[in-house]
């Protein structure tokens, strides 16, 4: 019984709804249809569909648009912008590191005791790291320079010399030869 009451109310509701026409010359057009603009040329008198005008933006949408516009303005760069105004390439961290590296390497070359070929800078002797003056080279070939006179470290541009070698189990010691000038 309740179903019949619902069906009666639905049918009466459907009877109350008027069909809406999109023709500009129909009798069912209302004042809202007169506010709408037809598609196409303004001079055309043909029957055409009318689209509603866009709704006015709410205050929240206006605020979002305003904020967006302000943020984009902050991001945009103009010809007189200050983006790179305080950049000095001579004072950047990278350039300072590069200058320090150059200064350090220049100073360290003065402190080295061997040249690029592994010879002593003092007298250009090609002394093996075993400190025996006649040794032709008793170590494995150096992976860096290929010389058999380099011990654990390559002699090329080395900053130290081996001053003393003690042979374990014996009383033998070899010391760096000091030459009289």
In a domain, 121, yes or no: yes
What is the structure's pLDDT at 140?
93
What is the structure's pLDDT at 22?
61
In a domain, 100, yes or no: no
Nearest to 51 by CA among 30, 37, 65: 37
Q: How far is CA 20 from CA 27, 38, 55, in A?
A: 10, 16, 20
Q: What tens digit of pLDDT does each residue of 2-26 get? A: 455 554 545 555 555 665 656 555 4
User: Number of folded domains in the chain?
Assistant: 1
In a domain, 53, yes or no: no
In a domain, 106, yes or no: no
In a domain, 163, yes or no: yes
In a domain, 148, yes or no: yes
What is the structure's pLDDT at 91?
79
* ∠ Cα 38 42 48 (to 5°): 35
Inform me whether the pLDDT recorded for 28 exceeds 50. Answer: no
Q: What tens digit of pLDDT does each residue of 81-138 get? A: 666 777 777 778 888 888 888 877 665 556 788 888 888 888 888 889 988 888 999 9
The whole-model pTM stands at 0.38
Please, what is the average pLDDT of the chain?
A: 73
Domain of residue 135 covers 113-181
* Residue percentage of the chain with pLDDT more than 90: 9
């Amino acid at each position: 019984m309740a179903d019949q009451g619902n069906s009666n109310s639905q049918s009466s509701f459907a009877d109350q709804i008027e069909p809406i026409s999109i023709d500009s010359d129909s009798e069912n057009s209302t004042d809202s249809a007169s506010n709408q603009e037809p598609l196409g040329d303004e001079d055309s008198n043909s029957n055409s569909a009318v689209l509603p005008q866009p709704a006015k933006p709410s205050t929240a949408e206006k605020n979002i648009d305003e904020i967006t516009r302000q943020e984009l303005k902050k991001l945009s760069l103009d010809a007189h912008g200050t983006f790179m105004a305080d950049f000095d390439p001579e004072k950047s961290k990278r350039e300072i590191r590069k200058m320090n590296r150059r200064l350090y390497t220049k100073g360290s070359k003065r402190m080295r005791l061997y040249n690029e070929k592994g010879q002593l800078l003092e007298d250009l002797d090609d002394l093996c790291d075993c400190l025996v003056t006649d040794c032709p080279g008793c170590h494995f070939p150096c992976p860096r320079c290929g010389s058999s006179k380099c011990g654990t470290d390559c002699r090329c541009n080395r900053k130290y010399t081996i001053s003393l070698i003690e042979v374990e189990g014996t009383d033998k010691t070899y010391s760096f030869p000091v030459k009289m000038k």
